[in-house]
Chain A
């Protein structure tokens, strides 16, 4: 099985080769393309390289995400197995009447609840979970970047530009509220 170092090396090599050819092709073909400088395809031609880079980086992030996800499921499976062992020790035989079945169910719930709560309370679980969410967010970030490039190619506002707008709007609302407060104080001070 290839080590993660080998994997990184081969991804790096692939990234280099791919960027080399997209760069070179872009340089070779930029002159005739520049004639169509106002069309969306021209913009997409320029952005295609960035999309390619994002896709390669998504692959790198996927490796990290998969590692974290595997660890997450391993933690759950190990805990389940330990809880099951404990349950088997406590209840060696399957109950055959309703009274025992109810109490067995209670024991099963209590044991599993205890084991899993201990897992979810542990720093190991929280650390891995935090990193798993973080790598998922990295994937989302690359996805957002790709969408933004597409939007830019289609001459439409990107997520970043919309966010800037939201921020402006937020600051503007605050200013208006502040001015309204000042005006209302001034109004009452003048006895109006």
Chain B
């Protein structure tokens, strides 16, 4: 008996079209190496070691005197906060009349393996804050921390509360015991001492592995199928390549900082219990008595909302706001959604609490 498999000709047509798109791709899209991720112009106003303090230029009238300092995460680079003119966190804040500074942690080398929380918080961040205070002739700054930068911002504010006017935490890594993500699962079972003692800095390859198992089929397969399907959509592919380039640029994390990080936040969970120690001083979250705005995303698969939200209840301030958005880790900072929902709310909140 002869069996015949009837295939819809549209399937073959679609298959051939994707093949054609793959062949056409190099003619239509710039290679990641050929594009620059720099968007909004800035001046490097201060630097120390590999760290740089960026001050973004704006032609908009400043509406408040209190500057905003953004502490970007330790994973990937700061470009995601200014990835596209229509999706730029930085540009939106500037357009709302804020004076924006950002810390670029740079790319640590083996020479930086002994840098720890003390160096990042009490030297780099504190020197940046002092520089801004001096430059802007104000007494306090607003500090925003994103992801792991949120943890640094939290520790900094608990140790130097007198310099912070408002604290904004965007998907901060706070309570490792409640973090239900794959990242936390791996971090809890990691022999971090051995890793740092043998390798020195935490290698980017390790982070790439972690990224690859977050959503392996959606992100590792379907994303690229969609890219080739949409190869003639200029805006889509341009955005895709920019985000891909950003994703593949992860600097190493200094060994000591990584060791303290994994132990204090994920394995022993000392930060949320007010038992973390930095340079002999206890990080007491009750010292955070200024206004605090916490932003979390329901679909965050890198830092689960349960990991971020405890900070809202741990601080001593009564002026605190918790916003839960129906988006993901990156969607909260670099999407049309963030432009329409997240940023207007934050800008309004900051302006109401800043020095005029």
- A residues sitting closer than 8 Å to B (CB atoms) are 94, 96-98, 101, 105, 108-109, 112-113, 116-117, 120-123, 125-127, 129-130, 133-134, 137-138, 140-141, 144, 163, 166-167, 169-171, 173-174, 177
Q: How far, in Å, is B306 (CB) from chain A's closest CB?
A: 14
Check if B353 is an interface residue, CB within 8 A of chain A: no
Q: In the complex the two chains form, is A109's CB within 8 Å of B222's CB?
A: yes
- Which residues of chain A are near B217, meaning CB under 8 Å? 108-109, 112-113, 116
Contact of B182 with A96 in the complex, beta carbons under 8 Å = no
- Find out whether the CB atom of B194 lies under 8 angstroms from the CB atom of A137: yes
**B186 with A96: CB separation less than 8 A:** no
Q: List 14 A-B contacts (CB under 8 A).
A: A96-B5, A96-B7, A96-B8, A97-B8, A97-B11, A98-B14, A105-B222, A109-B218, A113-B216, A126-B188, A130-B190, A137-B195, A140-B198, A166-B113
The interface residues of chain B, by DSSP majority, are classed as: helix
Are B213 and A116 in contact, with the CB atoms below 8 A? yes
Whole-angstrom CA separation of A119 from B341 in the bound complex = 35
Please determine whether B182 and A120 come into contact, CB atoms closer than 8 angstroms: yes
Contacts of A169 in B (CB 8 A): 111
B250: chain A residues at CB < 8 Å are: none
Does B180 touch A at the CB level, under 8 Å? yes
B114 touches A130 (CB 8 A): no
A170 to B7, CA, bound (A): 67
B326 within 8 A of partner (CB): no
Contact A170 B114 (CB under 8 A): yes
Q: Are A126 and B186 touching (Cβ within 8 A)? A: yes
Separation of A109 and B222 alpha carbons in the complex (Å) = 8
A117-B213 Cα distance, complex, nearest whole Å: 8
Chain B: minimal CB distance from A149 (Å): 16
Residue B35 at the chain A interface, CB threshold 8 Å:
no
Using an 8 Å CB-CB cutoff, how does the interface string of B214-226 with A read, 1 for contact, 0 for none? Answer: 0111100110000
Once the chains bind, are A113 and B7 in contact (CB under 8 Å)? Answer: no
* CB pair A166 B198 closer than 8 Å: no
Q: Which of B11, B186, B199, B215 contacts A137 (CB 8 A)?
A: B199
Q: Does B190 contact A116, Cβ atoms closer than 8 Å?
A: no
In the complex, whether B38 has a CB less than 8 A from a CB of chain A is: no
Q: Top 9 nearest A-B pairs by Cβ distance? A: A130-B189, A97-B8, A170-B114, A126-B189, A120-B182, A98-B10, A126-B185, A134-B191, A137-B198
Name B residues whose Cβ lies closer than 8 Å to a Cβ of A: 5-8, 10-11, 14, 49, 110-111, 113-115, 119, 123, 180, 182, 185-186, 188-191, 194-195, 198-200, 213, 215-218, 221-222
CA distance A133 to B194 in the complex (A): 10
* A-B CB contacts (within 8 Å), total count: 84
Of the listed residues A105, A137, A141, the one surrounded by the most CB atoms of chain B closer than 10 A to its CB is A137
- Of chain B, the residue at the smallest CB distance from A112 is B217
Once the chains are docked, how many angstroms separate the CA of A116 from the CA of B221? 14
A180 to chain B, nearest CB (A): 10
Complex Cα–Cα for A64 and B169 (A): 43
Is A121 a contact partner of B190 (Cβ separation < 8 A)? no
How far, in angstroms, from A98 to B6 measured CA to CA in the complex?
A: 12
Q: Which residues of B contact A108 (CB under 8 A)?
A: 217
Asked whether, in the complex, the Cβ of B185 is within 8 Å of the Cβ of A98, the reply is no
CA distance A171 to B111 in the complex (A): 12
Supposing A113-B217, A116-B217 touch, asked if A101 and B11 sit within 8 A by C-beta, the answer is: yes
Distance (whole angstroms) from the CB of B163 to the closest CB of chain A: 15
CB distance from B267 to the nearest CB of A (A): 11
Q: Would you give the shortest CB distance from B15 to chain A, in whole angstroms?
A: 10
A97→B218 CA distance, assembly (Å):
22
Cβ of A141: which chain B residues have Cβ within 8 Å of it?
194, 198
CA of A116 to CA of B216, assembled, Å: 8
- In whole angstroms, what is the CA distance A177 to B186 when docked? 36
Taking a contact as CB atoms under 8 Å apart, the answer to whether B186 and A129 are in contact is yes
Partner of A140, one of B7, B111, B180, B199: B199
Closest to A106 in B: B222
Q: Known contacts A126-B185, A130-B190: does B7 contact A167 (CB below 8 Å)?
A: no
A171 to B249, CA, bound (A): 29
Distance of A171 Cα from B221 Cα, bound (Å): 47
Q: Which residues of B contact A126 (CB under 8 A)?
A: 185-186, 188-189
Q: Are A127 and B189 in contact (CB under 8 A)?
A: yes
Question: Which residues on the A side are within 8 Å of B123 (C-beta)?
Answer: 174, 177
Given contacts A97-B8, A121-B180, A137-B194, 15 further A-B contacts (CB under 8 A): A97-B11, A101-B8, A109-B218, A113-B218, A126-B186, A126-B188, A126-B189, A133-B191, A137-B195, A137-B198, A137-B199, A141-B194, A166-B111, A173-B49, A177-B123
**B11, B186, B195, B216: the one within 8 Å of A98 (CB):** B11
Residues of A within 8 A of B49 (CB): 173
Evaluate whether A129 and B180 lie within 8 angstroms (CB atoms) in the complex, with A101-B11, A109-B222 already known.
no
Inter-chain contact A97/B10, CB cutoff 8 Å? yes
Residues of B near A137 (CB, < 8 A) are: 191, 194-195, 198-199
What's the minimum C-beta distance from B200 to chain A, rounded to whole angstroms?
8
